[in-house]
Amino acid sequence: MEFAERLSKRGHDVSVVAPDKGKYQPETSCKMTYFPYLDVKGCKQITAVISGFLTLLCLNASKRFDCIYIRRLALDPLPGIFSRLTGVPLVVETNGQIEIHEYEVPLHFLWPYLWYPLLKIIERVLFDAAFAVTADGVGRLSNFKSRYPRWKEKFHMIRSGGIDLDRFHRIDKSKARKELGLSQDRRILVWVGTIFAWSGLEVLIEAAKRICAELEDVDFLMIGDGPERGHFMQIAEDNGLLQRMRFTGYIPTSDLYRWLSASDIALAPYTRLRLGREDFTSYKIFEYIACGLSVVCSYEQGGSNIRYVGDYNLGATVPPEDADAFSNAILRVLADGSYFTDDFVKRSRKTLRELDVTWDALVDQVEGLCQSAAS
């Protein structure tokens, strides 16, 4: 959506084709076409793949596309087939290699015999049909070139996400809290994300037990929805934390800056499984930093953008899945007044500009690829 909106503002005729997700449809000025799918376990993926393919064929018949830009889906070869059938050039965005899906498929024991060979075939169909393939990490780019040496000129390094410094900005904390009905005399620690099993919230809740026992004036905001929300709310209740830990549910992206501005520290307790994914990038880290928040997060090594927290003294990083280390880091940051000044907010935003990770910088690259494909 970020790419689409910016390309549209630059004068391109952009249509976004996406599955119909009801209340989660984005607020956007772009032309949207939603396609249906069966919301039934075991049928979602296949019906969405087929419905999306048929929708593309119908749209292209009425108004021929110059280029189609997709984010690769693990079990969807049809955009490649669409490109072959119609002659519409294809640009494929990737944010992972097929190996990362090993523990997500049903009947996991069939991975080496069924799923892995099948995913490799689908990947070949897509990459063979594509004019260009983008990778959002140096390691992934190198691996693609090694795996498919005859297509190495197709692969380009483009991050799949960035930060909008206009949307994510800090407003006065007292004002934000008044607008949101939050207490003015509490210290608030915030987590934002989709609540999955691998979100690391077990570690956060364990750390919160110690923080709440030691500091009477600290509360936690858990912003987001997801399949494991009820599970983690129950864990929080079992640990006597629901009075100090508020689960807000889904908050529109357009309003997140207000909640972040109302907070004191941002949290990102990623698991080892999540951090171990090749070239893993946490875009909410950018959002936290853009709103002038110090960050306490999990990190070990590698090229992930999470390293910026430690490299630029924007908070604290600790080993993953270590609740004691996580709580100690929170206590250290809370005690350091330098993280709660106007100068820190200015320095944080300046760092993001210098790192060139804004959406506008990224869309320059996407626009160039799509124009080359169309020509």
Number of helical H runs and strand E runs in the chain: 15, 12
Torsion angle (degrees, nearest 10) of CA 142, 102, 233, 170: 10
112 vs 116: CA distance, rounded Å: 6
Q: What does the pLDDT read at residue 209?
A: 97
- 342-356 per-position pLDDT tens digit: 999 999 999 999 988
Q: What type of residue sits at position 31?
A: K
The reply to whether 2-162+358-374 and 173-355 are identical in fold is: yes
- % pLDDT > 90, the chain: 73
- 30-68 per-position pLDDT tens digit: 899 999 999 887 788 889 999 999 999 999 999 899 999
Indicate the domain borders of the chain: 2-162+358-374, 173-355
34 vs 23: CA distance, rounded Å: 13
- State the pTM of this model: 0.80
Q: What is the mean pLDDT of residues 299-304?
A: 80
Kindly report the CATH class assigned to 2-162+358-374: alpha beta
Closest to 68 in 3D by CA, of 48, 47, 50, 84: 84
Closest to 283 in 3D by CA, of 192, 364, 163, 201: 163
Q: What does the pLDDT read at residue 300?
A: 85
Better-predicted residue by pLDDT, 136 or 229: 229
Q: What is the mean pLDDT of residues 337-345?
A: 97
132 vs 153: CA distance, rounded Å: 8
Average confidence score pLDDT of the chain = 92
With tokens 């999990």, the residue in question is 298
Closest to 182 in 3D by CA, of 223, 236, 241: 223
With tokens 């309003």, the residue in question is 255
Q: Is 3.40.50.2000 the CATH number for 173-355?
A: yes
